[in-house]
Structures are given as structure tokens and as C-alpha cells.
């Protein structure tokens, strides 16, 4: 499941690839009780009977041009890719092209967010492929650099030409899309890499679901800027008796305020100054007091309420702990956040065997 990054027809839109072999769109609408619900908007059935395995929106990068068509790419268990167009007025999903991409399951398909006519795919045949959707079904390139099935791909929404891929071979590869012969960096993560998610605001952080290897946060700054051969593992955590298949960042972030800085009234700081310095970048204060999750017991504990991590950070579940309003502000504005120094992040994982969705608070200060 993936949310579209832009409203469609005035609604938030959720894309779902399901085991019935369909891609479905659901709209978030307000109900009579002043709450929200998801209602069906459009459905597209894949050509051959099989499972829809992944989807990606063409809107992964902020600042989509108004004349840029809204598209989805999906992959399936028959090794096919399906390019779909989304009509904002109706009737919803329309097929643009379908083609055979892999010999076995096409585990993943993803857009190049900077050139949305280009898509990438990974399959159980161990191949990573690039495609120009204007001229399918001939691939632009085929890489055999991964030694097992390619399960995860995501183009960076922050840096053009940066691509991350993951595989059952337990490696995360970082690529410069202008040269797909050799990766920029090769990072072993001790687990099959089922999902990769770039941080929505901090351009160098990459979150990986590593199945039996738990989850990891990679800092890719030196790999990109200094040509370091591997990314730095900033956070690593294994969940006992569980396989981590899903991970994602929250788009809600906490920023620790200086001790002397007062807590300003709600909404008193719109993100309206593009020339503000790093220390001056502030957003609307939305919530104060308690963290978004609540529970009686922490999920992990090192005797001090958290797990000590590489790089000096600490990881703990937000359950049972309070974020003091006098020291923190919560931002939901997507402007100018990249320059801000966010030291507390929320992330979520979902795991197999234990059937648990975990919400984590990472204090990376």
C-alpha cells in the first residue's frame, strides 16, 4: 500500500496491490460522524491471473509539475509490469501498457521520480532492469549485480540520479542512475532486503526491512558525496522470533527546542520564510504533550527505557513515554524541513510470525 503524495480530486488517495491480482484506489473521505473512512474509487484487474506484488506512484518527488500526468506502476507474480494512468476527474485507473519484464515473480517496480517515463523493476530471476515506458518492452539496461532475487527499489526523492536497491542476497546497493554498470556503494545488512524507504526530509537516511535481520537505518551521505564503498549503519535492531517485511517513516517529526526557547502558541510559526537559517526553520505546532502511541509497556528496554545504537542514538518505542511540550515541537510542514536539525524520528515496522505492528521513536541526537 502507498499513499499518493498529492491530492487527487480533493482527496487523499491510497493505492493497494492485492493478492487477488488487482490494483485498487481508495479515497479518504469524511464521514457523518466527523471522522474519516476509506471508500473504493477505482480498480484495475491485471491481465493474467496472479498476485499483484508491488506498486509505486510517479509523485515520489515533491513539486510535481501541474501538467505531469499522474501514473502508477505495478508488478505481479507472472513477471509482468503494468503502467496505469490515474484520471483525477474519473473514471480512475486506465491501462497505458503491460509487458513481460521477468521470467519469474516481479517482486518490485518503481519510478525514477526525476524522470517519470523511466521505471525500474526487480525479479526473482535476480535481475534489476530499467525501462523507458515510451518504448516497452525493450529494457534500457539489465543488471546482474545482485546475486539473488531483487525485492526492493526506491529512487531518492531528494537527490537526482540516486537509486537504492535491495535483494535476498542481503545487500543494499546504491546506484548513480547515469552509470548502472557498478553501484556507488554495497552495504551488507545480514538479512534479505524486502523494503527500502528514503526519509521524507533527511536526504541521506535510508530505512531497510531486512526480514530475519530486523530493520536498519543507513546513512548514505559519505557513499554519495565521498564515494565511500558502503553506507554507514546508523541504527540496527533485530526483533526476536519475527521477520520484518514492512517499514516506513512517519511524516510527523519532533524537533527538540533549546532550553531557553519558550513554547509558542499553536500555529504561530507558519513555514513561510525560505531564507531562514537552519536554527530558524520552524513549522506549525500541532500537538503537545504525549507521543502519538500509547501502551503500558515499552517494546524494547536497555534498563534506561531504550536501546543504545550505533552513532550514539537511542531507539525505543514511544509507548509509555511523554514528549515534553516545553522541549519539543511537532512539525507537519513539508517546506524547508530538509535544512532543519530533526533529532527525533518516528518509524514503523510490521513483522511476520509475531503479527505485530511496532511504532518506534528514534532519538538520534
How far apart are the C-alpha atoms of 58 and 119, rounded to whole Å? Answer: 9
Tell me the residue ranges of DSSP E strands in 202-355: 205-209, 215-219, 232-237, 243-249, 253-256, 289-290, 307-308, 314-316, 322-323, 328-331, 344-352
C-alpha angle 51-88-332 in degrees, rounded to nearest 5 = 85
Considering only CA atoms, which of 58, 70, 74 is closest in space to residue 21? 74
How far apart are the C-alpha atoms of 67 and 65, rounded to whole Å? Answer: 5
Sort strands 215-219 and 232-237 into parallel, antiparallel or unpaired: antiparallel
From its phi and psi, is residue 132 left (phi > 0), alpha (psi between -120 and 50) or beta? Answer: beta
How far apart are the C-alpha atoms of 301 and 303, rounded to whole Å? Answer: 6
Q: Kindly tell me the sign of the dihedral angle through the C-alpha atoms of 313, 315, 320, 325.
A: positive
How far apart are the C-alpha atoms of 221 and 225, rounded to whole Å? Answer: 6
**What is the reported pLDDT for 92?**
85
Are 224 and 167 in contact by the 8 Å Cβ rule? The answer is: no
Q: What is the pLDDT of residues 272-324, one digit of tens each?
A: 333 322 222 222 222 223 333 333 233 333 333 334 455 446 676 544 333 44
Residue 75: CB partners within 8 Å, gap ≥ 6? Answer: 52, 53, 54, 55, 81, 82, 101, 106, 107, 108, 109, 121
**What is the reported pLDDT for 32?**
82
How far apart are the C-alpha atoms of 273 and 63, rounded to whole Å? Answer: 18
Residues of the chain with pLDDT under 50: 262-308, 311-312, 318-326, 332-339
In three-state form (DSSP H/G/I as H, E/B as E, the rest C), the secondary structure along 33-49 is: CCCEEEEEEEEEECCCC
CA distances, 357 to each of 5, 204, 243, 248, 301 (Å): 23, 25, 12, 11, 17
**What is the reported pLDDT for 321?**
35
**What is the reported pLDDT for 257?**
64
Q: What is the pLDDT of residues 69-116, one digit of tens each?
A: 899 999 999 999 999 999 877 678 999 999 999 999 999 999 999 999
Residue ranges of alpha helices (H) inside the chain are 221-225
How far apart are the C-alpha atoms of 137 and 84, rounded to whole Å? Answer: 15
**What is the reported pLDDT for 64?**
64
What would the grid cell of residue 119 be? 521505471
**What is the reported pLDDT for 12?**
93
Q: Coil, helix or strand for 365?
A: coil
**What is the reported pLDDT for 345?**
87
What would the grid cell of residue 230 be? 558502503
Preceding peptide of 137 cis, ω within 30°: yes
Which residue in this structure is represented by grid cell 513555514? 271
From its phi and psi, is residue 259 left (phi > 0), alpha (psi between -120 and 50) or beta? Answer: alpha
Considering only CA atoms, which of 295, 339, 337 is closest in space to residue 319? 295
How far apart are the C-alpha atoms of 169 and 191, rounded to whole Å? Answer: 8
**What is the reported pLDDT for 344?**
78
- What is the CA 318 to chain-centroid distance, rounded? 20
Are 218 and 234 in contact by the 8 Å Cβ rule? The answer is: yes
What would the grid cell of residue 200 be? 521524507
**What is the reported pLDDT for 24?**
97
Are 50 and 21 in contact by the 8 Å Cβ rule? The answer is: yes
Q: What is the largest CA-CA distance in the chain?
A: 63
Amino acid at each position: 500500500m502507498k499513499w499518493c503524495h498529492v491530492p487527487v480530486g480533493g482527496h487523499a488517495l491510497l493505492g493497494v496491490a492485492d493478492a487477488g491480482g488487482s490494483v485498487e484506489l481508495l479515497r479518504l473521505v469524511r464521514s457523518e460522524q466527523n471522522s474519516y473512512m476509506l471508500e473504493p474509487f477505482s480498480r484495475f484487474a491485471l491481465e493474467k491471473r496472479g498476485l499483484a506484488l508491488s506498486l509505486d506512484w510517479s509523485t515520489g518527488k515533491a513539486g510535481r509539475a501541474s501538467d505531469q500526468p499522474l501514473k502508477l506502476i505495478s508488478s505481479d507474480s507472472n513477471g509482468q509490469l503494468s503502467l496505469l494512468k490515474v484520471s483525477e476527474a474519473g473514471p480512475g485507473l486506465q491501462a497505458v501498457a503491460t509487458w513481460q519484464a521477468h521470467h519469474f515473480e516481479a517482486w518490485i517496480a518503481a519510478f525514477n521520480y526525476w524522470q517519470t517515463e523511466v521505471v525500474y523493476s526487480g525479479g526473482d530471476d535476480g535481475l534489476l532492469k530499467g525501462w523507458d515506458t515510451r518504448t516497452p518492452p525493450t529494457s534500457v539496461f539489465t543488471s546482474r549485480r545482485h546475486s539473488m532475487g531483487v525485492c526492493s527499489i526506491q529512487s531518492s526523492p531528494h537527490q537526482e540520479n540516486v537509486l537504492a536497491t535491495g535483494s535476498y542476497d542481503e545487500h543494499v546497493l546504491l546506484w548513480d542512475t547515469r552509470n548502472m554498470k557498478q553501484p556507488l556503494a554495497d552495504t551488507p545488512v545480514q538479512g534479505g532486503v524486502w523494503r527500502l524507504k528514503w526519509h521524507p526530509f533527511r536526504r541521506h537516511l535510508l530505512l531497510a526491512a531486512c526480514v530475519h535481520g530486523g530493520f536498519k537505518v543507513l546513512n548514505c551521505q559519505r557513499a554519495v558525496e565521498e564515494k565511500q564503498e558502503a553506507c554507514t549503519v546508523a541504527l540496527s535492531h533485530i526483533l526476536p522470533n519475527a521477520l520484518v517485511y514492512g517499514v516506513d517513516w512517519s511524516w510527523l517529526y519532533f524537533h527538540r527546542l533549546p532550553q531557553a526557547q519558550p513554547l509558542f502558541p499553536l500555529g504561530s510559526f507558519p513555514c513561510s520564510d525560505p531564507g531562514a537559517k537552519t536554527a530558524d526553520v520552524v513549522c506549525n505546532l500541532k500537538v503537545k504533550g504525549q507521543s502519538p502511541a500509547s501502551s503500558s509497556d515499552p517494546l524494547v528496554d536497555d534498563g534506561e527505557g531504550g536501546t543504545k545504537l550505533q552513532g550514539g542514538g537511542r531507539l525505543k518505542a514511544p509507548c509509555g513515554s511523554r514528549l515534553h511540550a516545553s522541549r519539543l515541537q511537532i512539525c507537519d510542514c513539508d517546506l524547508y524541513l530538509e535544512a532543519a536539525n530533526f533529532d527525533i524520528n518516528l518509524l514503523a515496522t510490521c513483522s511476520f510470525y509475531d503479527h505485530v505492528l511496532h511504532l518506534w521513536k528514534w532519538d538520534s541526537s
